[in-house]
Amino acid sequence: MSMIRMTPFGTSGYLRNRKNHMTDVIAERSWEDLYPDGICRLSGLIKAVLDQQIVDLPSAAVSDDETRYPVDEPSMRAFLETFFARHVFQLQRSLAEYVASLDFQRCVRFGPLRILDIGSGPAVASLSLIDLVQHTICTGELRASKRPRDFGKVHVLNDTSPICLTTGRRMLATCRELGESLGLMSSGDRVLTLLTAFPHNIRQIQQLASSLGGFDIIILSYVMSPLTEAYGLRSLGTAVRALERLCKPCGRVVVLQDRFQESLIRSLARMLEVEHREQTVTQEIYPPRGDNETYTYTYYDCLYAPRMRVIDRVWRGT
């Protein structure tokens, strides 16, 4: 399965039509509206949420591993200072096309947005989506859809670190309170947490999907490497396929991994019969550190609709 280099939107493994083209145009316009000069910066809302959380956490020396996988309050602060903004921008880059699509409109038109985040950390993906939706759903041809205040969200956070789930709940609550005060969102959001590691919690996830009516977005961000080491790639691929069956017809699955894991993401994409992409992001460093103000890096992702993958396989006769 060949890799697609994205600059930044517009390439797909499926047959395209005029609607697909218009989606790409709107997605590009949404991205330019978010970051007109090509440099990603945290919005005022997300920056306020992050600042408040950092101030509330103690500062202490922690290891690199603890910074990447927080286990207590000092390591959570280190994660927020080092990786939070980077992960927010990567999720927004990967999901901008979907949030600008007609499929996304259909999801939010008929009920709350249902998000399953495997390896959620402190609700990074949910906060990233909230911010992205504020900027995207009211642009261009998407104005006919519901405005951000008019639909709720169900956040299902899965992480084995209690501090991650606790912090995620707290940051989502802060975001909701600030958003309400600014008239940006309603108070109808729900947050559910799962502490059991994936894929051992697949039955819990299936039960939740049954009660919620499926998931609109299933996110696996920076968990593929540790999960592959723990369970093997073949077993993990089987588990991801089980998640796909819980994705709604207009939904998406997104997998993110850093640039050092190209071989892993390529192997997983081949197993799932989807394509992977190399993405490039230039971001403002926040909170500020040293003399460097911006940082450019690459990462890899897979973004696909399980329903469309089945259609594509039928079309190819495989």
pLDDT band at residue 28 using 50, 70 and 90 as cut-offs: low
Compute the average pLDDT of residues 88-107. 91
How confident is the prediction for the chain on average, in pLDDT? 84
Q: By the 8 A CB rule, do 113 and 119 touch? A: no
pLDDT band at residue 22 using 50, 70 and 90 as cut-offs: low
Tokens at 293, concatenated: 């103000």
> Between residues 142 and 75, which one has the greater pLDDT?
75
**What percent of the chain lies above the pLDDT cut of 70?**
80
Per-residue pLDDT tens digits for 35-56 = 888 899 999 999 999 999 999 9
**In degrees to the nearest 10, what's the CA dihedral of 263, 264, 266, 268?**
160
Per-residue pLDDT tens digits for 201-251 = 999 999 999 999 999 999 999 999 999 999 999 999 999 999 999 999 999
Tokens at 302, concatenated: 């897979």
Q: By the 8 A CB rule, do 277 and 90 touch? A: no
pLDDT band at residue 107 using 50, 70 and 90 as cut-offs: confident
**CA-based torsion, 104, 23, 129, 136: positive or negative:** negative
Compute the average pLDDT of residues 109-113. 84
Per-residue pLDDT tens digits for 119-147 = 999 999 999 999 888 877 555 444 444 55
Give the separation between CA 161 and CA 163, rounded to whole angstroms: 5
Per CATH, the architecture of 17-316 is what?
3-Layer(aba) Sandwich (3.40)
User: pTM for the full model?
Assistant: 0.86
> What pLDDT does 1 receive?
40
Q: Is the pLDDT of residue 163 over 60?
A: yes
Q: Is the pLDDT of residue 278 over 90?
A: yes
Instruction: Enumerate residues 6+ apart whose C-beta is below 8 A from 168.
Output: 120, 121, 122, 123, 126, 155, 157, 159, 191, 193
DSSP letter for each residue of 138-182: TSGGGGGS--GGG--EEEEEE-S-HHHHHHHHHHHHHHHHHHHHT
Domain limits of the chain? 17-316
> What pLDDT does 282 receive?
95
> Between residues 14 and 257, which one has the greater pLDDT?
257
Give the separation between CA 90 and CA 71, rounded to whole angstroms: 23
pLDDT band at residue 180 using 50, 70 and 90 as cut-offs: confident
